[in-house]
């Protein structure tokens, strides 16, 4: 593994990689063990690609102190940190600390991560840029007499990971809508985002790059085993509760069942959204299609990098092993650090042994 180094990023020698991730001691023991297991998998995959890899585990609010042993001129940070333990919605503070200490890191800056938590702001930005997104309205009190589009879906306006989403979130009339808005406002203590429910195929789309942005093969969420439209959505259970109806029923098709023309239209929409939000290096977008139109539901500039996520599975489709995918993210950040005025990275070549056939995969980790 080696010791910390003073090697500059501008020199020929590649910097070491610090895997930065969070483990909150207040989590259930099962979640802690799962996070540590995933971290070991990432470390092992990276060790096959880069000579020096270290783990920096964030278990408290002393992030700067945990990084103080490393010279930022000799290390680049693979940012897999979703929050600072004990601070809600603190994901955006991690890049702020890294920049203050002088570290180069993978992924989007703090302002983009902060923006991603404000779903109404994201949708306003997309609409302003002419990028399709479902019609919406935000309610801070359960008074929605001016909403007339059904079915609709009621979401928390400031959450990730499908927190607060259940089949009851899809509402068919004003009475059900009022009940769900009240639940979000009172139980989750935040505004409720009401959207036109796009009852069509859902795609999770990973993009990477700066300047030249590449779309990986889209993943399709297959809801075909559910007849009730209320069931045709990605709930919290579908991502985190093995054995639940949605976890077992929703299948993931990679690549998605799209014609070349549809794929081209999807790529145009998601690339425009990626650039509009200011994503850097990589991101995952959630999209639904209705009547030939692709609607952007959500933009995730800090998606999970675990080996069982759609990001890793889709990268595998174009020939990237798990370690090669992680190395690609690091290379994108290094290119930015060496030349901040780059036009964009080269489009990644198809790797030897690429698996281009259709795959029907169950992906237990397609979470944010």
Domains 135-196 and 202-361 share a fold: no
Per-residue pLDDT for 16 more than 90? yes
Q: What is the DSSP string of 310-341?
A: HHHHHHHHTT--HHHHHHHHHHHHHHHHH-TT
**How confident is residue 282, by pLDDT bands cut at 50, 70 and 90?**
very high
d(C-alpha 44, C-alpha 311), whole Å? 18
Per-residue pLDDT for 348 more than 50? no
Per-residue pLDDT for 264 more than 50? yes
d(C-alpha 30, C-alpha 201), whole Å? 33
Note the pLDDT tens digit of each residue in 89-147. 899 999 999 999 999 999 999 999 999 999 999 999 999 999 999 999 999 887 766 89
Note the pLDDT tens digit of each residue in 148-192. 999 999 999 988 666 768 889 999 999 999 999 999 999 989 999
223 or 239, greater pLDDT: 223
Q: Give the pLDDT of residue 235.
A: 65
Q: What is the pTM of this model?
A: 0.86
Beta bridge partners of 202: 221, 288
Domain ranges of the chain: 16-105, 135-196, 202-361
**How confident is residue 238, by pLDDT bands cut at 50, 70 and 90?**
low
Question: How high does pLDDT run on average in the chain?
Answer: 86
Per-residue pLDDT for 234 more than 90? no
CA 136 to chain centre: 22
Backbone conformation region of residue 102, classed left if phi is above 0, alpha if psi is from -120 to 50, else beta: left
Structure tokens given for 241 = 């509760």
Per-residue pLDDT for 44 more than 80? yes
CATH number for the domain running over 135-196: 3.30.1490
Count of H-run helices and E-run strands, the chain: 11, 15
Q: Could you tell me what percent of the chain has a pLDDT over 70?
A: 83
- Residues 58 and 81 sit within 8 Å (Cβ to Cβ): yes
Q: Give the pLDDT of residue 237.
A: 58
d(C-alpha 50, C-alpha 19), whole Å? 12
> Structurally, what CATH architecture does the domain formed by 202-361 represent?
2-Layer Sandwich (3.30)
Counting Cα atoms < 13 Å in the Cβ hemisphere of 262 gives 18
Note the pLDDT tens digit of each residue in 290-339. 999 999 999 999 999 999 999 999 999 999 999 999 999 999 999 988 75
**How confident is residue 196, by pLDDT bands cut at 50, 70 and 90?**
very high
Beta-strand ranges (E) seen in the chain are 16-22, 53-58, 75-80, 104-105, 136-139, 152-156, 170-171, 192-196, 202-209, 214-215, 219-222, 251-254, 281-290, 293-300, 359-361
Work out the average pLDDT over 213-218: 98
């Amino acid at each position: 593994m080696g010791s910390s180094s003073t090697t500059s990023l501008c020199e020929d020698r590649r910097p070491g990689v610090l895997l930065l991730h969070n483990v909150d001691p207040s989590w259930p023991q099962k979640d802690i063990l799962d996070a540590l297991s995933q971290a070991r998998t990432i470390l092992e995959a990276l060790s096959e690609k880069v000579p020096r890899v270290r783990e920096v585990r964030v278990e408290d609010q002393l992030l700067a102190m945990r990084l103080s042993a490393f010279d930022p001129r000799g290390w680049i940070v693979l940012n897999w940190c979703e929050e600072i333990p004990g601070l809600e919605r603190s994901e955006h503070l991690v890049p702020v600390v890294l920049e203050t200490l002088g570290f180069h890191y993978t992924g989007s800056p703090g302002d983009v991560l902060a923006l991603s938590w404000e779903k109404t702001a994201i949708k306003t930005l997309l609409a302003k840029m002419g990028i399709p997104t479902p019609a919406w309205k935000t309610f801070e009190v359960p008074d929605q007499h001016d909403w007339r589009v059904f079915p609709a879906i009621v979401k928390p306006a400031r959450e990730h990971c499908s927190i607060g989403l259940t089949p009851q979130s899809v509402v068919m009339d004003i009475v059900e809508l009022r009940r769900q808005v009240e639940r979000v406002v009172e139980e989750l203590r935040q505004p409720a985002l009401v959207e036109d429910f796009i009852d069509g195929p859902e795609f999770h789309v990973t993009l990477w790059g700066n300047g030249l942005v590449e779309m990986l093969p889209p993943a399709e969420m297959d809801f075909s085993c559910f007849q009730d439209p209320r069931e045709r959505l990605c709930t919290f259970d579908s991502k985190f509760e093995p054995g639940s109806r949605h976890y077992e029923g929703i299948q993931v098709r990679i690549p998605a069942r799209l014609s070349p023309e549809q794929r081209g239209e999807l790529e145009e929409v998601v690339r425009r959204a990626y650039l509009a939000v200011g994503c850097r290096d990589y991101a995952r977008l959630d999209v639904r299609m209705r009547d030939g139109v692709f609607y952007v539901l959500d933009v995730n500039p800090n998606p999970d990098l675990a080996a069982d996520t759609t990001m890793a599975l889709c990268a595998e489709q174009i020939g990237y092993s798990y370690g090669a995918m992680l190395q690609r993210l690091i290379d994108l950040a290094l290119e930015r650090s060496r030349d901040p005025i780059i036009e964009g990275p080269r489009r990644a070549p198809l790797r030897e042994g690429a698996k281009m056939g259709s795959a029907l995969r169950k992906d237990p980790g397609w979470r944010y």
